[in-house]
Amino acid sequence: MRVALATCSVWPELDEDGPELLAALAAEGLEVDICVWDDPSVDWDTYDLTVIRNTWDYWDRRADFVAWTRRVPRLANDAGVVAWNTDKTYLRRLAAAGIPVVPTTWVEPGDPFTPPDHAFVVKPSVSAGARDTAAYEAGDTSAADLVSRLHALGKTVMVQPYVAAVEDVGETSVLVFGGEVSHGARKSAVLTKGAGQAELGSWTMSPREPSTEEVALAEQVVAVVRGWGDELLYARADVLPGPLLIELEVTEPSLFLRHAPGSAARYAKAVRLWTARASSQR
C-alpha cells in the first residue's frame, strides 16, 4: 500500500518526528512518499491514502489549501474536517455541544473592540503556532492595534481570558490515533502579558502523562466530532488547566512522537488500518 505524507516546501523532510515516523510506517509495510501539497506534478490518485502532516505554509492561503483537500482522493483527515478545523470558530460549535472550551469573545471585522477588565489574549481565528497572538494586562488599550491590523486583513479576532495557571503547569496536548488516546506532551507557557506577539517556536515541549480528566476531555471531544459524522485518523486536543479545551488540532498537528516511546508505532498502525480501508474503497 502506498501512502503520501503531505508537507510543504518549507518543511520538505517533515519535522523532528520525521525519521521515527518514516521508520514506523515502513515497519507496518507501507510504501511512503513525502510530497509537497501544492506541487502540481504530484498525482495524488496514485496513493492509497494521503495523510496531511507538515503543511505549515497554508495559513495565508487557506482558500487554496481547502480547495486542494477537495481534489485529493482518500485524504486523512478529510476535506470536510479541514474546512471547519482551519478556522477556530469551530470552538463555538464544540461549546454548544457541551465541551468546556476557554471562554471566547468573537470580534468580527467592523465590530468595536473594548479591552476586557481582566488579563486577556488576542488572536485571529485562522492561524497556527501562536502567529499574530499576544497577551495583555487588564484594560490594555494597545491591544486595539493588533485587533485593527487583523481586521484590516479581513480576519475574525478571538479574545480569551489569560489563564494564569499555564505559567506554572503549561498546556497539555493529548494525542488520539485511530480513536484511542496515545500519549500526552507539555508545552511551556507561550505568551507573556505585555511582551508583544509570540514568536513561532518560542516555547518548549516535554513529555507529560495527561491526567484522567484531560484524557476524558479529549475522548469527549473526539466523540462529539464523530457524532458530526467526521471520522478522525488523528487528533490533538490542546488543554489548559481546568481542564478547558483551547484548541482541537485535526488538520496538521505536531504529534510530539519523540516525547513518547511507542507513539510512532501506534500512529503507524492507525495509518496502516486507515490505508487498508481506503484502499478497499478505490
Is 157 in contact with 124 (CB distance < 8 Å)?
A: yes
Tell me the C-alpha distance between 58 and 8, whole Å: 9
DSSP state of 44: G
pLDDT digits (tens, 9 = 90+) for 189-215: 666 666 555 555 556 778 889 999 999
- Predicted confidence (pLDDT) at residue 271 exceeds the cutoff of 90: yes
- Predicted confidence (pLDDT) at residue 282 exceeds the cutoff of 90: no
pLDDT tier, 45 (very low <50, low <70, confident <90, very high otherwise): very high
What percentage of the chain reaches a pLDDT higher than 90?
A: 79
The CATH number for 2-86+264-280, chosen from 3.40.50, 1.10.357, 1.20.120, 2.60.40, is 3.40.50
Tell me the C-alpha distance between 30 and 53, whole Å: 16
- Predicted confidence (pLDDT) at residue 11 exceeds the cutoff of 80: yes
What percentage of the chain reaches a pLDDT higher than 70?
A: 94
For the chain, residues classed under CATH 3.30.470.20 are 90-96+165-258
pLDDT digits (tens, 9 = 90+) for 68-83: 999 999 999 999 999 9
Q: Which residues contact 190 (CB under 8 A, 6 or more apart)?
A: 130, 133, 171, 198, 202, 203
Tell me the C-alpha distance between 113 and 30, whole Å: 51
Range 90-96+165-258 classified under CATH 3.40.5.90:
no
Q: Which of 33, 46, 45 is nearest to 6 (CA)?
A: 33
What local confidence, expressed as pLDDT, does residue 207 receive? 86
For the chain, residues classed under CATH 3.40.50 are 2-86+264-280
What local confidence, expressed as pLDDT, does residue 198 receive? 56
Tell me the C-alpha distance between 252 and 243, whole Å: 23
Phi, psi angles (nearest 5°) of residue 221: -65, -45
Tell me the C-alpha distance between 92 and 50, whole Å: 29
Which region among 109-113, 163-167, 206-210, 246-250 has the lowest average model confidence (pLDDT)? 163-167
Tell me the C-alpha distance between 25 and 16, whole Å: 15
What value does the mean pLDDT take over residues 179-191?
Answer: 85
* pLDDT greater at residue 25 or residue 162: 25
pLDDT digits (tens, 9 = 90+) for 115-161: 999 999 999 988 766 678 888 999 999 999 999 999 999 999 999 99
Tell me the C-alpha distance between 272 and 275, whole Å: 5
State the average pLDDT for the chain: 91
What value does the mean pLDDT take over residues 35-57?
Answer: 97
Q: Is the whole model's pTM more than 0.85, yes or no?
A: yes
How far does CA 89 lie from the centroid of its chain?
A: 13
- Predicted confidence (pLDDT) at residue 224 exceeds the cutoff of 90: yes
